[in-house]
């Protein structure tokens, strides 16, 4: 077993030396990219190391939150203790890296209103009506 591993290591070293020889004529700034490409090719073809079994991640293992769930997450963190406008909710989602259009956020807020997960109040400023969203 140990003897086989030593032979395998010698073969690996030979392949790496060969890859270095191939990249000798390449300009210095491109040499590391050329070496990486040759080494990657050798690894991919299984000439250097045995192929490792890679288990793909099942879709069920990755939990993706819906827009409604993300808004409820904001609620649970206390974001809606003070009344917030539609723009405030969209801006907070963008700050967290979730890019949704205003229309999608509006629909999600309306759905949460119907489920009584959130509440809205009407505010009138300078003859403009605006709904603000708060905890129920």
Beta bridge pairs of residue 128: 125
In this prediction, residue 125 has a pLDDT band, given cuts at 50, 70 and 90, of: confident
Q: Please tell me whether the overall predicted TM-score, pTM, comes out greater than 0.85 for this model.
A: no
Q: Which two tokens mark 113?
A: 């209103």
42 band by pLDDT with thresholds 50, 70 and 90: low
Instruction: Report which of residues 53 and 119 the model is more confident about.
Output: 119
Please tell me which of 5-14, 32-41, 90-99 the model is most confident about, judged by mean pLDDT: 90-99
Mean pLDDT of 98-124: 95
The answer, yes or no, to whether residue 46 has pLDDT greater than 80, is no
Report, at the CATH architecture level, how domain 61-134 is classified. Answer: Orthogonal Bundle (1.10)
pLDDT digits (tens, 9 = 90+) for 66-85: 999 999 999 999 999 999 99
Separate counts of helices (H) and strands (E) for the chain: 5, 2
Domain residue extents for the chain = 2-44, 61-134
The pLDDT of residue 44: 67
- State the burial class of residue 98 (Cβ atoms within 10 Å of its Cβ: 0-12, 13-18, 19+): middle
């Amino acid at each position: 077993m140990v003897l086989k591993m030593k032979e395998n290591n010698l073969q690996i070293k030979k392949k790496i030396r060969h890859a270095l020889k191939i990249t000798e004529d390449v300009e210095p700034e491109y040499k590391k990219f050329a070496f990486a490409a040759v080494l990657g090719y050798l690894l991919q073809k299984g000439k250097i190391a045995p192929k490792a079994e890679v288990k793909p991640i099942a879709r069920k293992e990755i939990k993706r939150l819906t827009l409604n769930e993300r808004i409820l997450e904001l609620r649970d963190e206390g974001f809606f203790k003070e009344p917030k406008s539609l723009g405030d909710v969209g801006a907070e989602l963008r700050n967290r890296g979730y890019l949704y259009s205003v229309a999608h956020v509006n629909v999600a807020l309306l759905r949460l209103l119907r489920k009584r997960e959130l509440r809205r109040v009407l505010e009138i400023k300078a003859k403009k009506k605006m709904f603000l969203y708060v905890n129920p």
